[in-house]
Amino acid sequence: MTNNLSRCPHVATIGFISKEDYSNATEAEKCEKCDCIGPHLWLCLREGCLFVGCGTGKEKNDHSSDHEKEKAHPLQFNLTTKRVWCYVCNQEVRLNNDPSLELSFLDRSIVPTKSSKLLNNSGQVINEIEESSSNQSVNHQNQYEKCFEPTLFELEHTDTTDFTRGISGLYNLGNTCYMNSALQALSNCVPLTSYFLDCIPFIGINSYRRVNGDLSNMKSNGRLVKAYFKFIESMWTKPLQGRQSHVINPSSIAAEIRSINPSFRSYTQQDAQEFLRCFMDELHSEMRLVKYYADEKHRSESSSTDNSQCDVIVSNLNGESEYETCNSGSTSSSDDYSNDDDLNKYSSINEIKEYSKKKKFYQDKYDKLSRTDSGVSLNRNKCDKKVKESISNKKFKMSNSIISSIFDGSIQSQIECLTCNRRSSTIETFQDLSLPIPSREQLEKFHAIQCGNDEQLFLKNQEIYDNNSNSWMSWFYSLFKNLWTLNIWGPPLTLQDCLQAFFQADELTGDNMYSCEKCQKLRNGMKYCKVVELPEVLCIHLKRFRHDSMIYTKIGSYVSFPLVDLDMRSFIHKDCKSTIHLYDLFSLIVHYGRAGSGHYITYALNNLNQQWYEYDDENVRQVDTAIVQNAEAYVLFYRKKEPNISETYETIRHLMSRDQDSLLSFYISRSWINRLFYFAEPGPITNNDFLCKHGGVQPDYWSVINDLVCPVHESVWQYLFEKYGGCSVCNILYPCRICQLDDENLKCRQRSERKTFLQVSLINTVIIVIIENFII
């Protein structure tokens, strides 16, 4: 951990600097020698000097260092990070320095300065980004503590009221028990619910405003996301006085689902699992974030730089993409932007030249920036090494959402040719496992294999009985087999049996022979299936309904399932990187009745009081675990057995209280903090969801940046980084001007295209319209 105490005797040279002098230096926003625009600007603390110089780390442009060499003014103050650096001692000077450091002009409630002006080459203001008022005056310590008090985690440890959140019933809108059961099951999925409560700006909401702490007044392109957010908010954050539960009307969710999928528009009974698939697919579509990574050329160039960072951009797009390796280095290529040649057919030559000129100007400026300050030692060698280990040679989905982060797993299917022994494999993503319910003959085979030598005895006796069909032994064997099949006698059917039936090797013979590319013929083969990536939440669907020609039947066999410690170790691939293989049940959907009719209910574990509840439309009651275990499960939701987070939480709290005098903030995405508390395996630290590929904040997120990030002290960052790894340090927040120029140019081009289309549409001719986004 970083030592909090500094001993710099040169603090005695600090003169009096008024708040007005400090404000003038901050508003200047440029170096006095080269007119370099921030954020790396340093203010000399010698009385009467007030020199502002740049400190980009480049020898020819490091005027702050040059000033110290010429004037012998060792102490300089970074206008962005609020840190003091002594060039003579070659160290940071902290507030608890010996002797003490007094900065009368500094207001600790001020967050790092963020320039809102966008300048062209001539220094004229061409645009402004509106700066959030909350960015101007924030109490840091309260903000630190608030970030590490996630809603559910806070309620679990501090809520002393009699009301238990999450136990509200749902009105039946007419054979909508299938929807109610699915919503209740998802409502008790802690990783998903906590995300909706704590990470509102990340769920696809374009803009929202806080009005006395109320987040309901928001605008969203994803109407289903908005409806589900209001449902979660009513379920978990609005207690009623004097009542243990209340009933919620899910009509808004029903209306959105019916508009999306016509099969749910009728008032007939539907399948709960089909509703789950439709519902979760639509949530994923509305909340997904598309990430762009630099190519291999840029990766090789950036691997030699010291200031490595995750160069990804996140934007709310709708396209699906393939897998690509994440880059851990900075790039300066313009290939990622819109091709200027393509713009010629939409805009004038002067507009293109002006746009290219602006973009090149700001690209040159940002290429000189680093996510960390050149004058502050942050043990970068250790950080860069760990960044490369945790990010390089790693594949990330380019289009993901909280749905895919929680429910997505991967299965590798491998086929082996029994003639040439050639193996081919494919990896597929799954959000649930649809398990067959094995027959008693299959179950008999599984247990016989497990019994080892007893299998040969069983097969030998079966052969004897078949050869003596007229004997009394044949009659006894037939009775024994019937009792076994009817589950009156024999081993019970378990969830492990269903998993074994799903993952067992299949023989590809007869009409199902394998087309071998090496043999160029149809060959007998063996198909194997293993899990290569375990999801955070494992959704298991038991195939209870069967379609045979015109007959629709239900398999009513009881399948026993564990409430805790479902072990997936025997079904994972050798290359699976998941270290946690045990799962605990938190909800299940039960179907009573026959095929084509019946009723759905849900049993769910409340995370706040660790009690099981039965959700039957409007009715909610607490039940014992024995009732849950005897239920006829249809869909089961298991969550990874999470380690004890309390130790990590207490360590963070201790470090925050110890380092209250620290002026520098390290920023971590609020979505990753949410993963830290509610995911068993949160993964490496990432800020890719609010930073663009140039290292700045995306323009769309700038106005709400304080709601997207968690500021932490340096010691907290070091602790989390050493424990989980992750991307590079982020201690400077500034809006990306290049991305803003690109967005403005795109909007300008769209307006021009629309104007041209409307003009052409007035002509009485046949027009063929080609949408550029659909051209591959």
Q: Which residues are catalytic?
A: 177, 599
Q: Do residues 146 and 227 touch, judged by C-beta distance below 8 A? A: no
Length of the chain: 776
**φ, ψ dihedrals at 121, nearest 5°:** -65, -30
> Can you read off the two tokens belonging to residue 512?
């199902």
Task: Tell me the C-alpha distance between 736 and 744, whole Å.
Answer: 13
Amino acid at 566: L
Q: Do residues 671 and 689 touch, judged by C-beta distance below 8 A? A: yes
Q: How many CB atoms lie within 10 A of CB 217?
A: 9
Residue 303: burial class (beta carbons within 10 Å; 0-12, 13-18, 19+):
middle
Torsion region of 419: left, alpha or beta (phi above 0 gives left; psi -120 to 50 gives alpha):
alpha
- Choose among 406, 427, 407, 405: nearest CA to 688: 405
Beta bridge partners of 515: 522
Task: Tell me the C-alpha distance between 151 and 537, whole Å.
Answer: 20
Where do runs of H (alpha helix) occur along 504-637?
A: 625-629
Task: Tell me the C-alpha distance between 146 and 314, whole Å.
Answer: 25
Find the radius of gyration of the CA atoms of the chain. 31
Question: What is the 3-state composition of the chain as percent helix, strand, coil, each rounded to the nearest 5?
Answer: 35, 20, 40
Task: Tell me the C-alpha distance between 402 and 201, whole Å.
Answer: 13
Task: Tell me the C-alpha distance between 165 and 608, whole Å.
Answer: 8
Amino acid at 383: C
> Can you read off the two tokens belonging to residue 50?
């007030």
Give me the long-range contacts of 266-270 (CB less than 8 A, separation at least 24).
267/174, 267/175, 268/175, 269/175, 269/177, 269/178, 269/596, 269/597, 269/598, 270/175, 270/178, 270/179
Task: Tell me the C-alpha distance between 448 and 666, whole Å.
Answer: 59
Q: How many CB atoms lie within 10 A of CB 285?
A: 18
Q: Do residues 602 and 615 touch, judged by C-beta distance below 8 A? A: yes
Alpha carbon distances (Å) from 740 to 66, 82, 204, 655: 33, 26, 19, 37
187, HSE (Cβ side, Cα atoms, 13 Å): 32
DSSP string, 268-333: S---HHHHHHHHHHHHHHHH-EEEEE--HHHHHHHTT-SS----EEEE-------EEEPP-S----
Q: Do residues 76 and 103 touch, judged by C-beta distance below 8 A? A: no
